[in-house]
Structure 1
Amino acid sequence: MKWVENERYLAIVNHLVAVGNPDACFIVGVTLDMAQGLFLLDKAATAGHKTAAYVLGLLLYKSDEARATGKKYISQVEGDGDEAATTDAGNKRTNQECRRCRKIAEDAVQEQTKGKVLNISTR
């Protein structure tokens, strides 16, 4: 639908953003300027969207003033301090969830920017 009926697609996505749909907030959040994008990514992350939390964590971690907030979002993805953060054997999880979110974020950014952005750095 995005490619065949772009206007209808955008209307639906924008309607979903207006009602707070986390997936739509993430999709639109990765395409907007920094201030608006951060707002929508935060809205999606607050609703439990792990990939939005991952992207938001990376963006905020780069800023000295917002580093603690960035760490909070990355912790949301990794499950730090959560019982789900351990495997059945009782070992700490790897960063598998972050790797999964990174792949989803890369795909979403490439899709929304028509392939112009090739990589999201975790450094």
Structure 2
Amino acid sequence: MKARRRHRSSLAELPTDLAIKIAGRLAATSKRPMDDLRALRATCRRMLRVCSEPEVGRRVTLGRFKDNMSWDDPAGYATLVGHLTKVGNPEACFLIGMEVAFRKGTPLASVCTIEFQHAAEFGHNLAAYVGAILLYRANDDAVSDDVARRYMREVEGEEDAVAAAAAGHGCLH
């Protein structure tokens, strides 16, 4: 009787950085990212490790499943948002920052700016804008003012780039 040979999955042969990029792309573009990531995790131990990388979690787009999950499984959604905040997902950081900032009706700039900072670092312009407004409003010190100005420059720079691209393509916006 011949012994069965185990064949390595072609996924196992991918370089780690490429596997992470593929899983991140899946997380960013899938209509059902959590289901697809679970299926990918189940393929082999290596994909389990790859899908657990923070870079993959940062790419999950909450908007793709927020409406259904927040209504059908609010506890699961809160857990997911908390986990994604820990890995630096921009949308999750923004949501948590907004919740912390406005929980009692009065914005608390010093408490929430960490989440807004994480979201802004990954290009979430609305987080940068809200963070800048809260920092200006708090008027804590020169460092806060510098950070607020940097956030505003990031947002304005993005708007300038979009306007220039629209002008270059003949769009009237």
TM range (shorter): 0.5 to 0.7
Structure with greater Cα Rg = 2
Aligned partner of residue 164 in structure 2, secondary structure: coil
The question of 1:37 aligning with 2:112 is answered yes
Q: Alignment length, in residue pairs?
A: 90
- CA RMSD after TM alignment: 2.6
The question of 1:12 aligning with 2:80 is answered yes
Match of 1:76 among 154, 162, 165: 154
Which aligned pairs between 1:33-72 and structure 2 lie closer than 5 A? Answer: 33=101, 34=108, 35-62=110-137, 63=139, 65=141, 66-72=144-150
Please say which of residues 63-72 and 24-33 is displaced more in the overlay.
Answer: 63-72
Partner of 1:3: 71
Q: Which has the higher contact order (CA 8 A, sep 6+)?
A: 1
Aligned AA (2:117)? D
TM-score (norm 2): 0.45
Q: Distance in 1 between matches of 2:157 and 2:140?
A: 23
What is the percent sequence identity of the aligned residues?
37
TM-score (norm 1): 0.62
> Contact conserved, 1:61 with 1:69, CA < 8 A, in 2?
no
Q: Distance in 1 between matches of 2:122 and 2:98?
A: 16
- Larger helix percent: 2
> Where in structure 1 do 4 or more consecutive aligned residues deviate above 6 Å?
none
> Contact conserved, 1:61 with 1:68, CA < 8 A, in 2?
no
Q: How far is the alpha carbon of 1:72 from its aligned partner? A: 1.2
Q: How far is the alpha carbon of 1:84 from its aligned partner? A: 2.2
Unpaired segments ≥5 residues, structure 2:
1-68, 102-107
Q: Distance in 2 between matches of 1:85 and 1:69?
A: 23
Aligned partner of residue 48 in structure 1, secondary structure: coil
Q: Distance in 1 between matches of 2:112 and 2:146?
A: 19
